[in-house]
Amino acid sequence: MVSEGGGGTTSVSVRELMLRCPQCGATTSGGTMQFRCACGTPFDRPDASFEPAPESAEALRARFHGRLSALGGSARSGVWRYRELILPLAEEHIVSRQEGNTPLYAVGAGERDGWRKIGMYAGLERLFLKHEGENPTGSFKDRGMTVGMSVARALGVRAVACASTGNTAASLAAYAAQAELPALVFLPGNNVASGKLAQSIAYGARRVNVAGDFDDAMHQVEEVAGRLGIYLLNSINPYRLAGQRSIAYELLHQLDWQAPDWLVLPAGNLGNTSAIGAALLRAAERGLIARVPRLASVQATGADPFYRSFASGWRDFAPVRASTRATAINIGAPVSYARARAVVEATGGVVTEVSDDEIFAAKAIIDRAGIGCEPASAASVAGTRRLVAEGVIVPDAHVVAVLTGHLLKDIEQATGERPAGEPEQAEVDELLRDIHQALSS
Ligand code: F0G
């Protein structure tokens, strides 16, 4: 089952892995096309089922660090660099475009340049932004997609599909083209940002416009994929989540394995909260970090079933009809609720919510600092500000907030004015006189 593979460690065969239902304990093959147990709960992939023989934390850190100098192959990827903790797949199956490797921007109020305005806005001296919008297709989804698509190829599936608010579809379309697999994307009718839609079309995916929202699209794709034997690449697929874990491993690596106090991220379908939480816990178990950062999951007020559940002391959980202008997280029935709840509890984390106005105010600050992001991403900074104001995060805390998508994904919502029509030369001259005056005063 275990053989020598690329990247200098052993590799595993996906079919011989085991998936386990966290609810009832039932198991299934890692090569399954069916990601829900008969009891309805999504299967998990137990860590011990794939990690190669235990290596010391020091040896593991040295191995990861050594790969930073790789010139080619999957070791160049900010996902596969951490393959021992993600999925040690043989090199020949890997579909990668050097995803990850995203910057960690120091934007605390204590920094020297214009980025400090973001820290001042949030009320933090030590704030970092992990910009996942700087991935190949402009969102964090590429991290999960490289792993999911590689597994699809290893299994020899005939087609892949997902439901999406836009980013997963864009990523799926790009990686499917690379893997030479037909791709089907189920999108909520009129509610996908134009940049994301343009990507899906350009990369050649077949679109199904669903009458309804993301939750309806999710429901339909699960049914259709099951019926037609198409490989589902939503975050219900545990290999997608495995890839998304690398956000945490890479940012801890960038911090030289000094864990921050908090990790803050936007939350919709809750795949990312689950994956990042699981990675933080695993990093501590493997001795890579000395303590587990607390997770703060941020929802938009119009799409907040996870927040409501948290606020009820986890007593209730009820899906909602979602309505937020941050379309990426316009989700009312999150698939990974149970997984996300487990990791928020295990890290001593919190869930909060922010209004669309708070999201767009934070986005304007991030955009004007020259960094930029799509609306949903700004929920992490808006949520950080709120948690600092409420005293949940103390002002001298060391905080990393994740920006999940690129500014150009959603240009309809980009801040600022747009030029209307052809400019007149007289107007241009006047503007230039104003600028000259402003600069010489
Ligand atoms: N931020 C962005 C930019 C997203 O696209 C998403 C999810 C999230 C945050 C929330 O992450 O679902 O793991 O809690 N987008 C999915 C999609 C739903 O279809 O692209 P989550």
Domain architecture of the chain: domains with CATH: 104-137+240-413 (3.40.50.1100)
Q: What is the pLDDT of residues 380-393, one digit of tens each?
A: 999 999 999 999 99
pLDDT tens across 50-84, in order? 777 778 999 999 999 999 999 999 999 999 999 99
Distance 328 CA to ligand 1 centre (A): 5
Whole-prediction pTM: 0.94
Tens-digit pLDDT profile for residues 395-425: 999 999 999 999 999 988 775 555 567 778 8
Comparing CA positions, the residue from 413, 389, 396 lying closest to residue 121 is: 389
Q: What is the DSSP string of 351-411?
A: EEEE-HHHHHHHHHHHHHTT----HHHHHHHHHHHHHHHTTSS-TT-EEEEEE-B-GGGGG
Instruction: Please give the pLDDT value at position 190.
Output: 80
Helices (H) and strands (E) counted in the chain, each on its own, are 15, 14
- Atom number of ligand 1 nearest to Cα 268: 14
Q: Residue 233 Cα, ligand 1 centroid: separation in angstroms?
A: 13
For residue 57, the model assigns a pLDDT of 95
Best mutation site among 199, 232, 272 for ligand 1 pocket (most ligand atoms within 8 Å of CB) = 272
> How are beta strands 3-4 and 10-11 bridged, if at all?
antiparallel
pLDDT average, residue stretch 242-249: 98
**Residue 66 CA to ligand 1 centre (angstroms):** 31
151 Cα to the center of ligand 1, angstroms: 21
Helix axes 194-202, 167-179, angle to 10 degrees: 10
Continuous segment of H or E residues that includes residue 203: none
Minimum CA distance residue for ligand 1 atom 15: 328
Ligand 1, CB cutoff 6 Å, lining residues: 139, 141, 164-168, 235, 266-273, 328-329, 374, 376-377, 404-405
Q: Which pLDDT score, from 0 to 100, does residue 5 have?
A: 37
SS3 41: coil
